[in-house]
């Protein structure tokens, strides 16, 4: 195949990956993704893909060890990947053709270049960001992030926005620290959020619990990058923003279940859950009983 024949991919377009995937996606982020981050999980057998070029930074994670053939500099090379190995293909760079024979699940994480810039914009010179291609690198943290996102989305895609954005911001900063052409020393402030800013964001969270809150929105409220905001928030509160939001939703749900004649589905919607089954699982995890049992006993 001539290099002029590579396929262009764009994770922002739902049908783009269908060009190279014989079998459909098993799990994926909602249409449009989460503010520039996209997740996909698929399983293929006897897989072959041509050279590709994506609009986003693309990270591939195999769910187990596997043998693959990659076409590098017009020559096929065999590579053995372990469970902690990942591939990183920067945006607008050509990825090699690939083949493998066994059945294999793949997690694919895609980050818009602007997402990476936004993750830590006040900490680095974003005009000089260049992510380096990695055909094979051993990175347990990236694998852990990918598997954690897969588990979260298997429970509920529609209620996973805040968790997904939090994980994606961690991933973006990790890319800048470890895989950028120019090493970035990202400042880690340990002082926490100023009291007036913490009060402002807590008020915003409580006023918007019924909405599908995002890390990007909260960081805009306090005029910080998502990464810097999340880091300082955790230092101030002892838990990450997405964990704090869940805690607030559960506490609000307890109040509504006790004091109002509302159905379980109405309560779940009033505290920001779009899936009643996910609300029930989260509530039981934190309180020890289902919302219905709690309602009947209080």
Q: What is the CATH number of domain 195-243?
A: 1.10.10.60
Q: How many CA atoms lie within 13 A of 289 on its CB side?
A: 11
In CATH, the number for domain 3-178 is 2.60.120.810
**CA dihedral in degrees (14, 20, 22, 26; nearest 10)?**
-40
195-243 and 3-178 share a CATH fold: no
11's CB contacts (< 8 A; 6+ apart) are 17, 33, 38, 40, 54, 55, 56, 58, 110
- Please name which of 11, 99, 94 lies closest in space to residue 52, comparing C-alpha atoms: 94
Residues 6 or more apart whose CB falls under 8 angstroms from that of 66 comprise 80, 81, 100, 102, 104
As a whole number of angstroms, the distance between CA 84 and CA 175 comes to: 16
Of the candidates 105, 62, 95, 109, the residue with the CA atom closest to the CA atom of residue 81: 62
CA separation for the pair 110, 167 (Å, rounded) = 12
Structural domain boundaries in the chain: 3-178, 195-243, 248-296
DSSP string, 200-232: HHHHHHHHTTTS---HHHHHHHTTS-HHHHHHH
pLDDT at residue 2 above 50? no
pLDDT, tens digit, 9 for 90 and up, residues 91-122: 999 999 999 988 889 999 999 999 998 876 65
Token digits for 210? Answer: 């019924």
Position with higher pLDDT, 289 vs 129:
289
What are the pLDDT digits (tens) for 42-96? Answer: 999 889 999 999 999 999 999 889 999 999 988 999 999 998 899 999 999 999 9
Please, what sign has the CA dihedral across residues 179, 180, 184, 186?
negative
- The pLDDT tens digits for 149-206 are 999 999 888 889 999 999 999 999 999 889 988 766 666 666 889 999 999 999 999 9
Average pLDDT over residues 285-291: 95
The residue-averaged pLDDT of 232-251 equals 95
| Phi, psi (degrees; rounded to nearest 5) at 232 | -70, -35
Q: Domain 248-296 belongs to what architecture? A: Orthogonal Bundle (1.10)
| Cα–Cα distance, 244 to 74 (Å, whole number) | 51
Q: What three-state secondary structure class fits 35?
A: coil
How high is the pLDDT of residue 1?
A: 40
Using CA atoms, how far apart are residues 222 and 220, in angstroms rounded to an integer? 5
């Amino acid at each position: 195949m001539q290099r002029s024949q590579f396929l262009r991919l764009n994770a922002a377009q739902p049908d783009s990956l269908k060009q190279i995937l014989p079998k459909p996606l098993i799990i994926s982020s909602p249409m449009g993704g989460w503010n520039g981050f996209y997740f996909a999980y698929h399983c293929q057998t006897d897989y072959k893909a041509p050279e590709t070029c994506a609009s986003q930074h693309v990270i591939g994670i195999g769910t187990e060890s596997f043998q693959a053939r990659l076409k590098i500099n017009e020559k096929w090379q065999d590579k053995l990947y372990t469970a902690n190995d990942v591939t990183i293909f920067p945006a607008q760079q050509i990825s090699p053709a690939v083949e493998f024979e066994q059945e294999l699940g793949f997690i694919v994480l895609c980050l818009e270049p602007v997402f990476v810039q936004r993750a830590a914009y006040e900490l680095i010179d974003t005009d000089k960001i260049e992510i380096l291609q990695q055909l094979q690198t051993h990175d347990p943290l990236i694998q852990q992030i990918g598997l954690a996102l897969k588990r979260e989305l298997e429970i509920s895609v529609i209620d996973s926005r805040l968790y997904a954005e939090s994980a994606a911001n961690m991933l973006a900063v990790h890319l800048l620290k470890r895989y950028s052409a120019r090493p970035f020393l990202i400042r880690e402030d340990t002082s926490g959020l100023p009291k007036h800013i913490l009060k402002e964001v807590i008020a915003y969270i409580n006023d918007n619990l019924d909405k599908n809150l995002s890390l990007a929105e909260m960081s805009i409220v306090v005029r910080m990058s998502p990464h810097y905001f999340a880091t300082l928030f955790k230092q101030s509160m002892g838990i990450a923003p997405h964990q704090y939001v869940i805690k607030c939703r559960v506490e609000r749900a307890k109040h509504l279940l006790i004091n109002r004649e509302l159905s379980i589905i109405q309560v779940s919607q009033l505290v920001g859950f779009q899936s009643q089954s996910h609300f029930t699982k989260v509530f039981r995890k934190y309180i020890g009983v289902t919302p219905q049992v709690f309602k009947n006993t209080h």
